[in-house]
Structure 1
Amino acid sequence: MKAILKQHEEHKRELEQLNDHWENSARYLEYTKQELEERLYHAEESAILIKEELDEISIQKEIEIQRLKDEIKDLRQEISFLSSSQVNNHRVKELEDALNKAMREQMEFKEKLRIAKEQSEGGNGEVTEVTTTVRVIVKVRPFLDSDPAGPQCLMCNDTEVQIESKKVGSAKCFMFEKVIGPDDSIDELFMDLESNIVHAANGGNSCILAYGQTGSGKTYTMNGVISRSLNKLKQRFDCESVMISLQIIEIYNEQVKNLLTNDPLSRDWKDILNLSEIQLGNNWVSKAQDLIKKSCHKRQTKSTDSN
């Protein structure tokens, strides 16, 4: 009997020790929970303050970008006037330097604005993948002296293009996801296309299609986009760690031509598409640039009423 009582006493002490341990653990967990809740509260407050600050910075940068756009426009007009007036070249050079400086500042502000917006959305300042299926971005070509209508017939902002024409009477307004104005560079256009390159680099499918009438600047624009895309891929990948293939096809009058060879136009488009892809191997960036340059000289070019 004594042995049984002793055993019960030992078991009781063990249970009391376990109970003390559980109570201590419960107190510690409660303290930890309160501490985490307090830290979460402060983190949420900080996040709200940071977002408000970033929103304010974004607004300020947008205002500054618009100011720089206006300054660039005024400088272009003054340079054009002075050039036609045959004034001293020194003044024109000063204005051109000021114009280049304003354009650089505009690009810097746009890049900072992009990073600030991504940070306010929880990003890390890096370009993210494209999230929409199809986007339509308009790049307005600068007006040339040979154009029948001058710049006064067209007005645009970041999302709208307004065209005035005697043929249609009243002004017509068109809306797009983004409008790149005549004073904006290819670099600014590529900032909006960069997400497509990131998406492709991550294993997705991407297509950048230039559409427009003859003389609207498609070839010039796409050459700039392709060059910047290759440089972007070069930054992302080691040239020897990936396998890049290239295909350059021309479709002309419903006939297909492989511009990487000297073969003529053909209607056997399935065979051409199957045989026209080549592997670039190492140093693929320079090889791709060289092949693209050579292929451009093989394109069919015919004059039309528009050029």
Structure 2
Amino acid sequence: MSHGSVELVWHLLQVLHEVMQSKASELRKLMDAGAQEWKEKYSIECERRRKLHNLVQELKGNIRVYCRVRPMTDAEAANGCCISFPAPDEIKINNPELGVTKSWQFNEIYRQNSKQEDLFSGIRDLVVSMLDGYNVCMFAYGQTGSGKTFSMQGSADNPGVYTRTFNELFKVAKERSAWKIELKGACVEIYNEEIRDLLLGPNDKKQKLQVRQGKEGNHVPGLTLQPVNTVAEVEQLLNTAQANRTVASTDMNLHSSRSHLAVQILGTMTNPEGKQFSSAITLVDLAGSERLAKSGVSGDRQKEAIKINQSLSALGDVIAARAQKNAHTPYRNSVLTHFLQDSLGGDSKTLMLLQINPCASHVEESMCSLTFGARVNAVEMKKS
């Protein structure tokens, strides 16, 4: 290449560089404008998806009732089964000795052969609702020994609602990479109408915990809230809570839970536009309802059973008041219902897992549970 050609190429490169510099500012403005436009469109679509998802959950019912029947042991099978399923969403009790035949319908019914993943498939969407800023609560209800703890906790090789919920929670949070999401965990038990912080060790200084009303809703001042960023960290909280939970042996269950266990994940979510949402998902393994004569408890165990039944009765009163659309809902009649107030009213999403023992010798307890479940199913949730 000749010297003149080299100079020409060099001159053209300089001209091109000057043109690019002169246009760089304009190009940056155009790119920034385009990015802002896409950011605004993304924000609009996120809000639209949030509203549509919430609408779907409302159409399914803000309080849903899922019924799960556990398998019988060989010893129970000798007494016969009192449960049948006339239709996919129908459960029936038939007991000739008592002259009882009655059917109930619920949102979902899981039979004796159902798997843990089957149950969670009907719960998964509620995790998204929590990250969208709605309070979510799921509580397992049923007589002592009906399988509540298995459904909620499961085992290492067959995890229950807790672990599956945590996995889904962090999975969805990770997918929302443009959001800022901060999560904290708490574990409490409600024992004899007292709130106990299960994340405190036996030698830790403990204060009396009470539910208080704040501008963001009910909360428990002084409760341990530990930041969690992984499923493993939440599992560690749960292991600590289980080690500190109150259990005892009764005639109905060798390891009967003597308190209500609540595992709560509280979240603060900020979308790309800076709009902030706060909400909580609360998973509750209720203490088992039991008849004193049948459980064979006495002394302290009897006092515990009485308190358990009173709190479950208070839960029934709250449900009944909402179903009848009473002007007053008696949340404060029990520490349990006061603690769950924000999850049982307003636009919260609540799911009741009704656990049933199908053995004929437990037909009366099963009937009471199914009747209670039907009352819950009748509640129409609206903003307070």
Q: Which residue type is aligned with residue 161 of structure 1? A: I
Contact 1:227 1:289 in 2 (8 A): yes
**Among 102, 108, 114, the residue aligned to 1:178:** 108
* Distance (whole Å) between structure 2 residues aligned to residue 299 and residue 140 of structure 1: 25
* Distance (whole Å) between structure 2 residues aligned to residue 275 and residue 266 of structure 1: 8
Match of 1:10 in 2: none
Contact 1:127 1:194 in 2 (8 A): no
* Distance (whole Å) between structure 2 residues aligned to residue 167 and residue 127 of structure 1: 47
RMSD: 3.0
**Paired residue secondary structure (1:248):** strand
Q: Given the alignment of the two structures, is residue 295 of structure 1 paired with residue 241 of structure 2, yes or no?
A: yes
Q: Which residue type is aligned with residue 254 of structure 1? A: E
Q: Which residue type is aligned with residue 127 of structure 2? A: I
Q: Which residue type is aligned with residue 292 of structure 1? A: L
Q: Which residue type is aligned with residue 146 of structure 1? A: A
How far apart are residue 294 of structure 1 and its match?
2.4
**Among 120, 123, 129, the residue aligned to 1:193:** 123
TM-score (norm 2): 0.43
Query: 1:265-288 CA deviation, whole Å, 9 max, x = no partner?
Result: 97643489322242324x432100
Contact 2:93 2:102 in 1 (8 A): yes
How far apart are residue 150 of structure 1 and its match?
5.2
* Distance (whole Å) between structure 1 residues aligned to residue 64 and residue 249 of structure 2: 30
* Distance (whole Å) between structure 2 residues aligned to residue 303 and residue 266 of structure 1: 28
How far apart are residue 153 of structure 1 and its match?
2.2
Query: 1:6-42 CA deviation, whole Å, 9 max, x = no partner?
Result: xxxxxxxxxxxxxxxxxxxxxxxxxxxxxxxxxxxxx
In the alignment, structure 1 segments of 5+ residues that lack a partner are 1-122
Map residues 65-76 of structure 1 onto 2, 5 A cutoff: none
**Paired residue secondary structure (1:257):** strand
**Paired residue secondary structure (1:138):** strand
Match of 1:130 in 2: 57
Q: Given the alignment of the two structures, is residue 269 of structure 1 paired with residue 193 of structure 2, yes or no?
A: no
Q: Which residue type is aligned with residue 163 of structure 2? A: S
Aligned residues: 182
**Paired residue secondary structure (2:76):** coil
Contact 2:188 2:241 in 1 (8 A): no
Larger Rg over CA atoms: 1
**Residues 213, 267 of structure 1: CA spacing in aligned structure 2 closer, same or farther, 3 A cutoff?**
farther
Contact 1:140 1:180 in 2 (8 A): yes
Comparing both structures, which one devotes a greater share of its residues to strand? 2
Q: Given the alignment of the two structures, is residue 153 of structure 1 paired with residue 82 of structure 2, yes or no?
A: yes
**Residues 149, 193 of structure 1: CA spacing in aligned structure 2 closer, same or farther, 3 A cutoff?**
farther
Match of 2:195 in 1: 256
Q: Given the alignment of the two structures, is residue 207 of structure 1 paired with residue 154 of structure 2, yes or no?
A: no
* Distance (whole Å) between structure 1 residues aligned to residue 92 and residue 174 of structure 2: 45
**Residues 303, 212 of structure 1: CA spacing in aligned structure 2 closer, same or farther, 3 A cutoff?**
same
**Paired residue secondary structure (1:237):** helix
Higher relative contact order (Cα pairs below 8 Å, separated by 6+ residues): 2
Comparing both structures, which one devotes a greater share of its residues to helix? 1
Identity, in percent, stands at 28
**Residues 183, 152 of structure 1: CA spacing in aligned structure 2 closer, same or farther, 3 A cutoff?**
same
Could you list the structure 1 runs, at least 4 aligned residues long, displaced by more than 3 angstroms after superposition.
Answer: 126-129, 148-152, 263-268
Contact 1:245 1:279 in 2 (8 A): yes
Q: Given the alignment of the two structures, is residue 280 of structure 1 paired with residue 227 of structure 2, yes or no?
A: yes
Query: 1:54-102 CA deviation, whole Å, 9 max, x = no partner?
Result: xxxxxxxxxxxxxxxxxxxxxxxxxxxxxxxxxxxxxxxxxxxxxxxxx
* Distance (whole Å) between structure 1 residues aligned to residue 222 and residue 199 of structure 2: 11
**Paired residue secondary structure (1:244):** strand
* Distance (whole Å) between structure 1 residues aligned to residue 122 and residue 96 of structure 2: 33
**Residues 148, 233 of structure 1: CA spacing in aligned structure 2 closer, same or farther, 3 A cutoff?**
same
TM-score (norm 1): 0.53
